[in-house]
Amino acid sequence: MSEFIQYTLQGLAAGGFYALSALGLAVIFGVLGVVNFSHGACYMLGAVLSAVLLAELNVGFWAALVIVPILMFGFGVLMERLLVRWLLELDPLYNFLLTFGLTLVIVEAVKQRYGVSGLPYQVPAGLGGQVSVGSVNLSVYAIFACLFSVVVCVAVGLLLTKTRIGMIVRAATEAPDRTRALGINVGLWVTPVFGFGIALAGLAGVLAAPTRAITAEMGSNFIIILFAVVVIGGLGSILGAVVAGFLVGLVEAYGIAYAPTYAQIVIFVLMAIVVLVRPSGLFGREEVA
């Protein structure tokens, strides 16, 4: 039984992290209708930036949690202003391909500059060690990463649903013409929302840095799991991304525990079942494009 609890806790810890990582993807899709394939590359940039800030400017983990999302926000703003904006009117496929191409450029650029073996990063002081209750152990860092992720997800959810800014953003994207008629500059809101989604990817990268290999390719496989999370949760649904994040984390942990070879397959089997039963995902809205 204690083993089962152990696996469950590990699944939940991983799930929180998946939820945060998928959140930016869900925000950008939910608000702008852009499927951002470069989300994995931006997650990688977040982790690489943390490592570079530490190595070259001696900026630690806590500062990186603030600085890196700000830098990534700037990067997202540039991406939106220079590239994504021009394709917004077209079929989502165009922006998907654009961000896919960007991913290749970003990954190769990082390889050129920082090589392929990866960069070192340690667990920040105070978050090392484990918490043990009986025979159940969980690393302090995993607990921190999970709780931090949940807090960020809840905050983002509240921001979009309960505040005036959130209301404007949702109105601007769901009914741009009517929103414009009410005297709101719709174009002005698109850029920061995209930047915000990219900043969330960067934040997930910072959170990953102490516990995962920081390499140019770290986002390449991860993005596939994140797509599974947003598809299961319902594209664009923030609540969906969070619930699906935990679901995927749990399914993966049980998979590893009881059928290790199939640990990753079960995630995609789950995705296939959800899509078959509810094509719009667990929390997605059926909408007409």
Question: Out of 210, 233, 240, 245, which residue is the one contacting another protein (CB under 8 A)?
Answer: 210
Per the CB < 8 A criterion, the answer to whether 200 and 22 are in contact is no
Name residues contacting another protein, limited to 129-168 (CB under 8 A).
Answer: 130, 132, 137, 139, 141-142
User: Cα 278 from chain centroid?
Assistant: 23
Smallest CA-to-CA distance from 192 within 43, 46, 45, 70 is with 70
Window of 30-38, 69-77, 80-88, 156-164 that interacts with another protein by CB under 8 A? 30-38
DSSP 214: B
Q: Is 33 in the site for another protein (CB under 8 A)?
A: yes
Per the CB < 8 A criterion, the answer to whether 250 and 10 are in contact is no
Question: Which of 202, 234 has the CB closer to another protein?
Answer: 234
Q: Is 280 in the site for another protein (CB under 8 A)?
A: yes
Cα distance between residue 165 and residue 167, in whole Å: 5
CB environment 168-182: b (16+ within 10 A), e (fewer): bbbbbbeeeeebeee
Half-sphere exposure of 192 (CA within 13 A, CB side): 10
Shortest Å, Cβ 153 to another protein: 19
Q: Return the amino acid letter for 102.
A: L
Shortest Å, Cβ 256 to another protein: 4
- Burial of 8: CB neighbours in 10 Å, binned 0-12, 13-18, 19+: middle
Q: Is 288 in the site for another protein (CB under 8 A)?
A: yes
Question: Out of 5, 66, 90, 275, which residue is the one contacting another protein (CB under 8 A)?
Answer: 275
Q: Return the amino acid letter for 144.
A: F
Long-range contacts of 149-153 (CB under 8 A, 24+ apart): 149/16, 149/17, 149/19, 149/20, 149/204, 149/207, 150/16, 150/19, 150/242, 152/20, 152/23, 152/200, 152/203, 153/19, 153/20, 153/23, 153/238, 153/241, 153/242
Name residues contacting another protein, limited to 6-25 (CB under 8 A).
Answer: 6-7, 10-11, 13-14
Question: Which of 138, 159 has the CB closer to another protein?
Answer: 138
Question: Out of 20, 160, 218, 232, which residue is the one contacting another protein (CB under 8 A)?
Answer: 218
Which x/- pattern over 56-95 shows residues binding another protein (rule: CB under 8 A)?
-----------------------------------xxx--
| Other Cβ atoms closer than 10 A to 269 | 13
Half-sphere exposure of 232 (CA within 13 A, CB side): 28
Name residues contacting another protein, limited to 95-124 (CB under 8 A).
Answer: 96-97, 100, 104, 108, 111, 115-123
Q: Is 176 in the site for another protein (CB under 8 A)?
A: no
Question: Which of 137, 159 has the CB closer to another protein?
Answer: 137
Q: Is 194 in the site for another protein (CB under 8 A)?
A: no
Give contact residues for another protein (rule: CB under 8 A).
3, 6-7, 10-11, 13-14, 29, 33, 35, 37, 91-93, 96-97, 100, 104, 108, 111, 115-123, 128, 130, 132, 137, 139, 141-142, 210-213, 215, 217-218, 221-222, 224-225, 227, 231, 234-235, 252-253, 256-257, 260-261, 263-265, 275, 279-281, 284, 287-289
